[in-house]
Structure 1
Amino acid sequence: MTDSSASPSAVAPSAEGVAPLTAVVTGASSGIGRATAARLVADGWRVLAVARREDRLAGLAAESGCEVLGVDVTSDESVERLVARAEELFEGSLNAVVHVAGGALGVEPAARADLDKWQRMYDINVLGAVRVTRALLPALRESGRGDLLFVTSVAGQEAYPGGSGYNAAKAGEHMLAAALRLELNGERIRVIEIAPGMVRTEEFSLVRLGDQAAADAVYDGVENPLTAEDCADVISYALNAPHHLNLDLVTVRPLAQAAAHRVARHQGV
């Protein structure tokens, strides 16, 4: 496991003497998770960024000044190490858990479903989020200003051909957030869901399709698909908004996308 010292500006109290807000960001080795961790540090938060790939986390730590830890959200033992590190860094109190770890595998129709892929998607997107939530909820309660933020997908709201496995996993995560919002009602913990549409990152479609040419074709002719930084902007707004204000569900798409399966494409774009 790899740790990195947070930058002095991220750790030091503000001019008013108020300690910085604190966050754990999962899936931080690339894409939306990486962009979110960097953005929150820039906002003045103290961040523990976690993911499986420790080499990539080291680069993020050097660039942003966040703390990092190698964590597999599908492993109880690994999440226990996350809890211990968060408690050490944040003294038992935590303001936000940002669930970004997830992803899609394959585009086979349900009739030809690869159940290993379905199981892996459910393990990461749903059970991983449950495992981390359950483990860090006491620290969120202790802070008196807690946030659980789930980065889901429009795939959890709209089915599309070839998406059944990912649709099912993200719908499960969407319902997890909705149930938690009811279960935690009356506590000082917001439950926020950000559901992006088409986001062009370096790995999402490549991991899903297993081929760079096929991954590139997903975005062919699409004017300005979302970026990881676009999503980090929305996440930053949701977390930094006054705590009495809760963004239950924000669906964010590029202008070119009207639905999960309907995207305007133009020649020469």
Structure 2
Amino acid sequence: MSLSLNQRTTKRWTVEQAVAGCVRHGIEAVGLWREEVAEQGLAESAKLVREAGLRVSSLCRGGFLTRGDRAALDDNRRAVDEAAELGAACLVLVVGGLPGVAPGQAPGAAASRDLAGARATVAAVLDVLAPYAGERGVRLALEPLHPVYCPDRAVVSTLGQALDLAAPYPQEWVGVVVDTFHVWWDPQVFEQIARAGARIASYQVCDYLHPLPADVLLGRGMMGDGVIDFPPLTRAVLAAGYGGDIEVEIFNAEVWAADPDEVVTTMKERHARVVF
């Protein structure tokens, strides 16, 4: 499995800078984010990646399906079209939290507490979105998030739940993301990785810091700086048949403030020494 730089790890880099950084450091793939792609321009981003000879390991992100409205569906269709233009291996979907609960904010009076209903909405929207993606050769990748994010970001918290949602569709249409930060704690993680098999669309790595910072979104650390035992997870993903890129995705204020080239140098060393 080759190494991929997720653009969030070097948050200060534009698409152009991230592509150049990958080339400079001998990294063969890059995971892009829609916001930065929009700033660079979709056609220009695709051209930069293509001319550099890089793979787009993922496009982040679609999702927030729990809203269940036309605007959410239309935005996800646009995300599918962008992934197709970029030739991305998958479009990562963060499915969304409880309706009316905004990320990082206290729930207001109108916030829903219907968790089962929110999960049912995700399944209903997938019924429409999955065929749209499949027709355009784009693979949706459902990403379960750690339960701490269930209220505001993802009502899908385990790999097993993600696989249940993916099951009705061809594996070429809907896969799952195995992200070490989000799944390391799950007592069924190895069983579910084996069950996932060819549905694994992306393997993302970073460490789980302890204690978490006040903003838990930024609790992702460089591999080796937290509590995750990476080699068993990597072996399990390999044994399941995954042969794609290992994408390093880190949300961390100190990492973002550091020199991006130094971050990538450390990332390569930790990938070789810690992840395997």
The TM-score with structure 1 as length reference comes to 0.38
The TM-score with structure 2 as length reference comes to 0.37
